[in-house]
Amino acid sequence: MDSEQQFKEIRTLCVLMIDKLDKISAEFREMFGAHKRNSDDIILDYQDVCQILHISLRHLRRLANSNELPGFKIGRRRFWRNYDVQEYIRKIEKNKNR
Protein backbone atom coordinates (compact mmCIF):
# COMPACT_ATOMS: atom_id res chain seq x y z
CA MET A 1 0.00 0.00 0.00
CA ASP A 2 1.54 3.27 -1.02
CA SER A 3 1.55 6.40 1.09
CA GLU A 4 -0.97 8.22 -1.10
CA GLN A 5 -3.55 5.48 -0.63
CA GLN A 6 -2.90 5.43 3.13
CA PHE A 7 -3.39 9.19 3.22
CA LYS A 8 -6.74 8.87 1.42
CA GLU A 9 -7.91 6.19 3.86
CA ILE A 10 -6.87 8.26 6.85
CA ARG A 11 -8.60 11.29 5.41
CA THR A 12 -11.80 9.29 4.84
CA LEU A 13 -11.72 8.02 8.42
CA CYS A 14 -11.18 11.55 9.73
CA VAL A 15 -14.17 12.82 7.77
CA LEU A 16 -16.33 10.01 9.18
CA MET A 17 -15.17 10.78 12.72
CA ILE A 18 -15.89 14.48 12.29
CA ASP A 19 -19.39 13.67 11.01
CA LYS A 20 -20.06 11.47 14.04
CA LEU A 21 -18.75 14.15 16.40
CA ASP A 22 -21.00 16.72 14.74
CA LYS A 23 -24.01 14.44 15.29
CA ILE A 24 -23.07 13.87 18.93
CA SER A 25 -22.59 17.60 19.42
CA ALA A 26 -26.01 18.32 17.92
CA GLU A 27 -27.64 15.71 20.18
CA PHE A 28 -25.85 17.14 23.19
CA ARG A 29 -27.02 20.67 22.39
CA GLU A 30 -30.56 19.37 21.90
CA MET A 31 -30.52 17.47 25.21
CA PHE A 32 -28.93 20.14 27.36
CA GLY A 33 -30.06 23.10 25.40
CA ALA A 34 -28.24 25.72 23.52
CA HIS A 35 -31.48 27.55 24.28
CA LYS A 36 -32.03 29.97 27.10
CA ARG A 37 -32.06 28.11 30.40
CA ASN A 38 -34.48 28.53 33.22
CA SER A 39 -34.37 26.94 36.66
CA ASP A 40 -36.16 23.81 35.41
CA ASP A 41 -33.39 23.12 32.89
CA ILE A 42 -30.66 22.84 35.52
CA ILE A 43 -28.91 19.47 35.57
CA LEU A 44 -28.18 18.07 39.03
CA ASP A 45 -25.79 15.36 40.15
CA TYR A 46 -26.38 12.96 43.04
CA GLN A 47 -24.92 15.31 45.66
CA ASP A 48 -27.23 18.13 44.61
CA VAL A 49 -30.31 15.89 44.67
CA CYS A 50 -29.41 14.40 48.05
CA GLN A 51 -29.03 17.90 49.51
CA ILE A 52 -32.29 19.16 48.02
CA LEU A 53 -34.30 16.14 49.19
CA HIS A 54 -32.39 15.65 52.48
CA ILE A 55 -31.85 11.98 51.72
CA SER A 56 -28.89 9.61 51.64
CA LEU A 57 -27.14 8.44 48.50
CA ARG A 58 -28.50 4.95 49.10
CA HIS A 59 -32.08 6.25 49.23
CA LEU A 60 -31.51 8.22 46.03
CA ARG A 61 -30.24 5.08 44.30
CA ARG A 62 -33.37 3.22 45.39
CA LEU A 63 -35.56 6.01 43.99
CA ALA A 64 -33.64 5.95 40.72
CA ASN A 65 -33.71 2.15 40.41
CA SER A 66 -37.45 2.02 41.12
CA ASN A 67 -37.95 4.86 38.60
CA GLU A 68 -39.74 6.98 41.21
CA LEU A 69 -37.27 9.75 40.45
CA PRO A 70 -36.32 9.50 36.77
CA GLY A 71 -32.85 10.52 35.75
CA PHE A 72 -30.45 9.87 32.93
CA LYS A 73 -26.92 8.61 32.55
CA ILE A 74 -23.94 10.06 30.80
CA GLY A 75 -21.33 7.36 30.79
CA ARG A 76 -21.42 5.82 34.24
CA ARG A 77 -22.71 8.92 36.03
CA ARG A 78 -26.36 9.59 36.71
CA PHE A 79 -27.95 13.04 36.55
CA TRP A 80 -31.38 14.53 37.20
CA ARG A 81 -33.22 17.53 35.84
CA ASN A 82 -34.27 20.09 38.42
CA TYR A 83 -37.79 19.92 37.00
CA ASP A 84 -38.02 16.18 37.75
CA VAL A 85 -36.75 16.68 41.31
CA GLN A 86 -39.28 19.47 41.91
CA GLU A 87 -42.06 17.26 40.49
CA TYR A 88 -41.03 14.50 42.88
CA ILE A 89 -41.20 16.95 45.80
CA ARG A 90 -44.68 18.07 44.71
CA LYS A 91 -45.80 14.44 44.46
CA ILE A 92 -44.49 13.64 47.94
CA GLU A 93 -46.15 16.73 49.44
CA LYS A 94 -49.41 15.90 47.70
CA ASN A 95 -49.34 12.37 49.15
CA LYS A 96 -48.64 13.76 52.64
CA ASN A 97 -51.72 15.99 52.43
CA ARG A 98 -54.04 13.06 51.74
Instruction: Please state which of the four CATH numbers 1.20.1250.20, 1.10.287.70, 1.10.150.110, 1.10.1660.10 is assigned to the domain occupying 36-98.
Output: 1.10.1660.10
Q: If residue 82 lies in a helix (H) or strand (E), which one and from where to where?
A: helix 82-96
pLDDT greater than 80 at residue 94: yes
Task: Tell me if the pTM is above 0.75.
Answer: no
pLDDT digits over 28-57, tens only? 877 776 555 566 678 999 999 999 999 999
In single-letter form, the type of residue at position 13 comes to L
- The domain spans of the chain are 1-35, 36-98
Query: Helix crossing, 57-65 with 46-53: angle to 10°?
Result: 100
Q: If residue 79 lies in a helix (H) or strand (E), which one and from where to where?
A: strand 77-81
DSSP state of 20: H
Which of 64 and 39 is assigned the larger pLDDT?
Answer: 64
CB distance 51 to 80 below 8 Å: no
